Structure 1
């Protein structure tokens, strides 16, 4: 009963990370239950005091499962909350003639003075002429500082037909304060798995780590790099002097590389990306089997999504269960209108 109460509290939490972690555990539990496993929550493990999330039993075999939804550190979450409060403050400026380009932003260690910031921005925007010939390069600029906060804005005139304000308008029209960067989620995936992989000692049964992700990895390149190593290109020269190249993988994947495979106590990693209550049939779910595990996962282990196997040094994808079929979900899911209009209430009634 206490476990159910704890799960319900996390599902109701206003903290996104608490909700996502709890919903991932619920998703895994219901997947196993729908596939005919007898599931026990927080089972005891031989010789240890810590307990994984689940043990699933079927046909006389047991599989231990640990689910983790990696999130930012507490310090980063607090900084993110302060940044979001700042953006909400600026978006409420509500000028009828200009929208803002947020050009630079340094987040301070304490909440910013929201009312004062809005007052200064409104006064600055009222001093500008929306009929002047501004272009994006020479738009009027406003620099704001407060203690360790800094921000830079540019004013962009609204088109004449778009002037005025309506409820829900956001003052920031362009977010150009974030630099462009290459996306590399592989280190974060490896770190998430490593956070839990040794928590329960050497289990005498298959062990699966489930990782809940919110990354865009439809081609699976990031996860492949996390588990089997980053891709590098090797260059050489033939006896005839011809320069040739080939793609290879660095031995920095979580599973290592042949012949010295790493982390053999983890039989498989299940990645679940973009999981939300309304996206259960569309979540990107993939089971990655260890090429040489200490305890092989049963062939018929039923998780939604595809299965990846390393066969003859080549990664092979096998079609898996459809979440819609496993959970018997209707198409489309969810049913009904996503955002139904609210029924007006007559105060005189």
Structure 2
């Protein structure tokens, strides 16, 4: 029988590096918490259609996040009593949605899509930063935590990683006691203790603070970032990419979104994506599932917008990883103006629908309730 992760002796007791392939890490980790994840994914994979297993395994090895979410969606609806087939033929398109879910006389098309807020340029920069993080995490630095203050790339050439590690190790060994940050230091005093490496290709600035525990890697804090707003645009873009992909469908259609944005995913982000960010919002209702319904024409579901994506019956949004199934929230929202009407009471999941002039939650089951 095809398995996602083969049975073998595993000896790797390290946590994942920044550059490490996710599938490879799960496949080789001997840590108990990741053995649990591996066993869970193997169990899900055993229920996946046999004819599609080889391709899904290849997809997990090459693009883990997207393939994992397909596996998750399959499991989530299987546990609600549906039988799923992969890539069904649809009447008005040569393209195929991810799944057709059947339960008795019920039939639903399902599409799984990962949403992020990263541009190609941001992903490329993140990959370059991850190389530096992994190099610094190899520094021998038992007495101090390292805080990354700045990484500036000055050319397109590869940074000299060995030289970077050697420079920081020498400075920490010689001057660590003098340059370590103390709690009572002022901001300017802390800046004076920064350690800088710079050459023609890169500039890196770090700071130190005392460490009294045994640790597996020295970096205690990474580069931060700032942003305005939420992740509604990435959710909206993901739905737009799938909303009319298959033309006019003959069955209800639910677009499933895994919001992996570096921004938080909140109720307001989901509602802003679906009903418009210019809608009237009361501060006390922020992140309240039950709200007064107002809309603006930048919302996916707004009837006055140019495209209301009426072939979509509803949208399922979550933020799920292999390790947080028991904690993952979800928003399953019924499209109030869909041409493919579906009774969401046929699902076990809690859902949100328009009732009069309000958005109302119909409380049922959580992801954890269904998949525990």
TM-score grouping bracket, smaller chain normalisation: 0.7 to 0.9
Q: Which moved more, 1:140-149 or 1:194-203?
A: 140-149
Aligned CA distance change for structure 1 residues 68 and 303 (closer, same or farther; 3 Å) = farther
Q: Is the 8 A contact 1:144 1:150 kept in 2?
A: yes
Q: Which moved more, 1:47-56 or 1:109-118?
A: 109-118
Match of 1:230 in 2: 277
Q: Is the 8 A contact 1:130 1:157 kept in 2?
A: no
TM-score normalised to structure 1 length: 0.75
Q: Is the 8 A contact 1:45 1:51 kept in 2?
A: yes
Q: What is the CA deviation profile of residues 22-66 of structure 1, one whole-angstrom value per residue up to 9, with x for unaligned ones?
A: 222222223333333332210111132110011123343432111
1:70 shift after superposition: 2.7
Aligned CA distance change for structure 1 residues 167 and 221 (closer, same or farther; 3 Å) = closer
Match of 1:104 in 2: 150
1:226 shift after superposition: 0.9
Q: What is the CA deviation profile of residues 252-308 of structure 1, one whole-angstrom value per residue up to 9, with x for unaligned ones?
A: 1111256987111111001122242x433332122111111111113433153x201
Instruction: Name stretches of at least 5 consecutive residues in structure 1 with no aligned partner.
Output: 235-245, 330-349
User: Residues 236-247 of structure 1: matches in 2 within 5 Å?
Assistant: none
User: Residues 92-131 of structure 1: matches in 2 within 5 Å?
Assistant: 92-95=138-141, 98-107=144-153, 109-128=156-175, 130-131=177-178
Q: Is the 8 A contact 2:179 2:194 kept in 1?
A: no
Q: Is the 8 A contact 2:76 2:370 kept in 1?
A: yes
Q: Is the 8 A contact 1:231 1:247 kept in 2?
A: no
Query: How many correspondences in the alignment?
Result: 304
The structure 1 residue matched to 2:352, chosen from 308, 321, 329, is 308
Structure 1 position 206 matched with structure 2 position 247: no
1:98 shift after superposition: 4.6
Give, in whole Å, the separation in 2 of the partners of 1:270 and 1:115: 46
TM-score normalised to structure 2 length: 0.71
User: Residues 269-308 of structure 1: matches in 2 within 5 Å?
Assistant: 269-276=315-322, 278-302=323-347, 304=349, 306-308=350-352
Structure 1 position 326 matched with structure 2 position 342: no
Aligned CA distance change for structure 1 residues 59 and 75 (closer, same or farther; 3 Å) = same
Match of 1:344 in 2: none
Q: Is the 8 A contact 1:45 1:203 kept in 2?
A: yes
Q: Which has the larger radius of gyration?
A: 1
Give secondary structure in 1 for the equivalent of 2:345: coil
**Greater strand content:** 1
1:174 shift after superposition: 4.0
Match of 2:95 in 1: 50
Structure 1 position 168 matched with structure 2 position 216: yes
Give, in whole Å, the separation in 2 of the partners of 1:132 and 1:117: 18
Give, in whole Å, the separation in 2 of the partners of 1:221 and 1:80: 27
1:77 shift after superposition: 3.5
Aligned CA distance change for structure 1 residues 212 and 146 (closer, same or farther; 3 Å) = same
Aligned CA distance change for structure 1 residues 252 and 42 (closer, same or farther; 3 Å) = same
Q: Is the 8 A contact 2:330 2:366 kept in 1?
A: no
Structure 1 position 9 matched with structure 2 position 58: yes
Give, in whole Å, the separation in 2 of the partners of 1:131 and 1:81: 33
1:132 shift after superposition: 7.4
1:219 shift after superposition: 4.9
Give, in whole Å, the separation in 1 of the partners of 2:188 and 2:341: 60
Structure 1 position 137 matched with structure 2 position 188: yes
Give, in whole Å, the separation in 1 of the partners of 2:180 and 2:72: 55
Q: What is the CA deviation profile of residues 231-260 of structure 1, one whole-angstrom value per residue up to 9, with x for unaligned ones?
A: 5669xxxxxxxxxxx996542111125698
Give, in whole Å, the separation in 1 of the partners of 2:242 and 2:87: 14
Q: Is the 8 A contact 1:98 1:130 kept in 2?
A: no
Aligned CA distance change for structure 1 residues 294 and 152 (closer, same or farther; 3 Å) = same
Aligned CA distance change for structure 1 residues 217 and 317 (closer, same or farther; 3 Å) = farther
